[in-house]
Amino acid sequence: MNQNLNKYMQEHLAAIQQKELSILCAIHDICERNKIDYWLDGGTCLGAVRHGGFIPWDDDIDIAMRKEDLPRFAEAAKRELPEGLFLQTKETDPTDPHPMLKVRDMNSLLVEYGDDFKQPYEKGLYVDIFPMIPYPNLSRAACKKITKNYCTANAILKKQHKYSWRAVGELFWFGAKRMLFSSLWNISNITMRKDIYYGNTLDENGYGIMHRMDSIFPTKPITFEGKTFRGPANPDAYLTDLYKDYMQLPPEDKRKGHAAFYIEKLT
């Protein structure tokens, strides 16, 4: 990375984190007022447990919510989000390529490596809200095989391709794989009980992770940056599912955020 750019991003990271924290506070307040459950997810939950707040090099916030609660949250957010924040969904921002809801800050900029600047979707700082669903009572190995194969095929099919015989071959091969594993997933949902596990929607589970419901519910208070939010019922089990030995710090060369560039305040 350009050393000047690297220095800029390090100097502005704390301001970025504070703005994202303010978005999380706004989401928390809406959920509290409307009795909508949510919990800190991914690196945000890890940061809360391991660091008491942000992972020092992290530049995003992730939360999770039951999929069936998302419409109610969306309606409340449209009414109650503070000025300057924007609920980004397929309905409010049709060119947005992301499948999950985001609450964006309109007076900032976040550039991610996969961003498409030919599309006009909003690109301010945000908090991700991942939809979570009950899973069929598959073994963890079977779940991982289905979800990882489906997501790999889906990602390849969604990539931009140049016209070639290879692209045609990929279309048929990975199209067939996606159809196969999608069918296996649908059959499992129809034929199996769904009373033990919870996880991301199929499109968002490329790592094949599923959590026991009793590791999530009932959610309980968790401290993040000195403030109280909602966390999973058993953070240790939840984080072990995600990261295995989650208290072990990654190698120094892996301690990087997700953004290519950011500006915490445009005007």
Q: Do 150 and 114 fall into the same domain?
A: no
Residue 55: closest CA among 256, 228, 261, 263: 256
Domain count, the chain: 2
What local confidence, expressed as pLDDT, does residue 157 receive?
Answer: 84
Digit-coded pLDDT (tens) for 32-63: 999 999 999 999 999 999 999 999 999 999 99
pTM of the model: 0.93
206 within a domain of the structure (yes/no): no
Claim to verify: residue 224 and residue 259 sit in the same structural domain: yes
Residue 162 predicted with pLDDT over 70: no
Indicate if 225 and 109 belong to the same structural domain.
yes
Q: Quick count: other Cβ atoms within 10 Å of Cβ 145?
A: 15
Per-residue pLDDT, 99: 80
Write the CATH number for 93: 3.30.460
Claim to verify: residue 48 and residue 115 sit in the same structural domain: yes
Q: Tell me the C-alpha to C-alpha distance, in Å, between residue 94 and each of 51, 97, 102, 151, 191.
A: 37, 8, 13, 22, 35
The answer to whether residues 99 and 186 belong to one domain is no
Q: Report whether pLDDT(225) > 80.
A: yes
More confident residue, 96 or 243: 243
In tens, the pLDDT along 13-36 reads 999 999 999 999 999 999 999 999
Residue 88: what residue type? Q
Judgement on whether residues 11 and 100 belong to the same structural domain of the protein: yes
Q: Do both 151 and 77 map to the same domain?
A: no
Same domain, 128 and 145: no
Q: What is the DSSP letter of 250?
A: P
Neighbours of 253 (CB within 10 A): 6
Question: What angle is formed at CA 116 by the lines to CA 111 and CA 121, rounded to 5 degrees?
Answer: 80
The mean pLDDT value for 110-131 works out to: 94
The per-residue pLDDT for 2 is: 83
Residue 125 pLDDT > 80: yes
Task: Verify that 252 and 123 share a domain, yes or no.
Answer: yes
Mean residue pLDDT of the chain comes to: 94
How does residue 168 score in pLDDT terms, banded at 50, 70 and 90? confident
Domain annotation covers residue 209 = no
Identity of the amino acid at 194 = K
Position 199 in a domain: no
Q: What is the mean predicted confidence (pLDDT) over 194-210?
A: 95
Residues 73 and 146 in one domain: no
170 and 230 belong to one structural domain: no
Q: Is residue 200 part of a domain?
A: no
Domain encompassing residue 221? 3-132+216-263
Amino acid 163: pLDDT: 67
At 48, the amino acid letter reads A
